[in-house]
Amino acid sequence: KSPFRKCSWCRTEMDQWYVNGDYLVLLVSVGIILPLSLLKNLGYLGYTSGLSLLCMVFFLIVVIIKKFQIPCPLPDIHDDNLTHSLNISHSSHSDNTSDEDTCKPKYFIVNSQTVYAVPIITFAFVCHPAILPMYDELKDRSRKKMQNVANVSFLAMFIMYLLAALFGYLTFNQHVGDELLHTYTKVYKFDVLLLIVRLAVLTAVTLTVPVVLFPIRTTVNHLLCPSKEFSWVRHTAITVFLLAGTNALVIFVPTIRDIFGFIGASAAAMLIFILPSAFYIRLVKKESMKSRQKIGALVFLVLGIVVMLGSMTLIILDWIKNATSDSGH
């Protein structure tokens, strides 16, 4: 039921273009992402990347603070839409579940959404395409220096992701939603701090896009015109084409979880598990297949294939199940 059904002024406001998220995506893409993406060198994006990192640190701090502000059990929520969005369902929780059980965190929860966890985590640590451009921008670059950059970056991101996920789950326990920030908005009708956090996360994501786009554009340029000199026309055309495709996915795909899940199970598994192991086994000739390094690479390769095939199969089955249930209703 729409809360604006009996309010003609509210309906008029909701029909305005400036409250449509699709227009906001287009405006941000054209006004912010496109100019940053058109920069010729990746080094100029170091400042925006630093700002993006600060935004995510702010997000983590607020998640930790809210853990100690939100009571457990959660306040009674009588709106059906809010209850549904908090993942409260009879299939996962019985009516006689006590408050103590509700507030007690569970270490392992297996349900239909578990299949998306591993691919999304895998996708979160895919940074391979940006390694070579970043190495090229380093001053006095060396293999050791690049390894230090990678170690610090991976460790920092791992700690941030781990703490955000841990405190987010401990805040809501079984009631945590697919999107953590949306779950907070179901408890707080209006909270200035949470609005600032959402703006910070949007800023971080927006400023990350040019960094990710840079190696993709470089790859496409080398594939299409490997021997030609730099051209601003070609540079701009590839950038606009890539952003247009990204905006189309953002506007027409209903949930980002499906994209992260499928790409994490396919491309991310290839980049993290399968291809590095296969390259090591194939290219390193000085070690026999019985060496510890080759055996470890082989185990990693098999693990990657199992993760990719298993995750993709379960995700597709989940899509079929959801489509069948939707058509039944």
N-term to C-term CA, the chain: 17
Task: Express each pLDDT in 217-246 by its tens digit.
Answer: 888 888 888 888 888 899 999 999 999 988
What are the structure tokens assigned to 2, written together?
A: 């729409």
HSE-CB of 267 using CA atoms within 13 angstroms: 12
pLDDT at residue 243 in the model: 92
- Cβ atoms of 227 and 51 within 8 Å: the answer is no
Closest C-alpha among 211, 221, 279 to residue 39 = 211
pLDDT at residue 229 in the model: 85
pLDDT at residue 4 in the model: 39
Domain layout of the chain by residue ranges: 256-324
pLDDT, mean of residues 45-57 = 84
Closest C-alpha among 318, 319, 326, 328 to residue 111 = 318
Closest C-alpha among 167, 159, 174 to residue 68 = 167
What are the structure tokens assigned to 307, written together?
A: 């993760």
Question: In the chain, which residue ranges form alpha helices assigned H by DSSP?
Answer: 8-14, 21-28, 34-37, 46-67, 80-85, 99-103, 117-124, 128-137, 143-172, 180-187, 192-224, 232-252, 256-263, 269, 275-283, 292-328
Please state, in angstroms and rounded to a whole number, the distance separating the CA atoms of residues 263 and 122: 9
pLDDT at residue 64 in the model: 92
User: Is the preceding peptide bond at 254 cis, omega within 30 degrees of 0?
Assistant: no
Please state, in angstroms and rounded to a whole number, the distance separating the CA atoms of residues 206 and 125: 18
Task: Express each pLDDT in 269-288 by its tens digit.
Answer: 888 888 888 888 888 878 88
- Cβ atoms of 177 and 85 within 8 Å: the answer is yes
Mean pLDDT (the chain, rounded): 78
- Cβ atoms of 271 and 306 within 8 Å: the answer is no
Please state, in angstroms and rounded to a whole number, the distance separating the CA atoms of residues 176 and 93: 13
Q: pLDDT band for position 187 (50/70/90)?
A: confident
Please give the model's pTM, rounded to 2 decimal places.
Answer: 0.70
What are the structure tokens assigned to 317, written together?
A: 């089955």
What angle do helix axes 143-172 and 46-67 make, rounded to 10 degrees? 30
Closest C-alpha among 204, 206, 182 to residue 194 = 182
Q: Which residues contact 24 (CB under 8 A, 6 or more apart)?
A: none
Q: pLDDT band for position 86 (50/70/90)?
A: very low
Task: Give the three-state DSSP class for 216.
Answer: helix
pLDDT at residue 240 in the model: 93
Please state, in angstroms and rounded to a whole number, the distance separating the CA atoms of residues 300 and 258: 25
